[in-house]
Amino acid sequence: MLTAHGVVLLRCGGAPSPRRAAQRAGPDSSRLPTSHTCFNTLLLPEYLTRARLARQLRTAINNAEGFGLE
């Protein structure tokens, strides 16, 4: 049986939580963060300030289109 996250459940208690990672995606730029959902990886440009990181993350989340299956 697969969960909504594509993780196979084990018979007793389910599978352990998937490993999540954040990875550098180059120098600070106007690019938004991206992700590889199949690998549970968040790609973050090296923003110069936390405020810029927070702003770019909010923009990416608020404008996400998912997989376009709507």
pLDDT digit string, tens, across residues 49-58: 999 999 998 9
Q: Domains plus CATH for the chain?
A: 21-62 (3.30.2410.10)
Tell me: pLDDT of 2 over 50. no
- Which SS3 state, helix, strand or coil, does residue 48 take? coil
Report the C-alpha gap between 7 and 54 in whole angstroms.
29
pLDDT value of residue 49: 92
Taking the C-alpha atoms of residue 56 and residue 35, their distance in angstroms, rounded to an integer, is 13
pLDDT tens digits, residue range 5-55?
555 555 565 556 667 777 778 787 788 888 877 778 888 899 999 999 999
Catalytic residue from among 1, 12, 38, 51: 38
Q: Is 38 a catalytic residue?
A: yes
35 within 8 A of 28, measured Cβ to Cβ: no
Give the residue from 32, 40, 44, 33 showing the smallest Cα distance to 15. 40
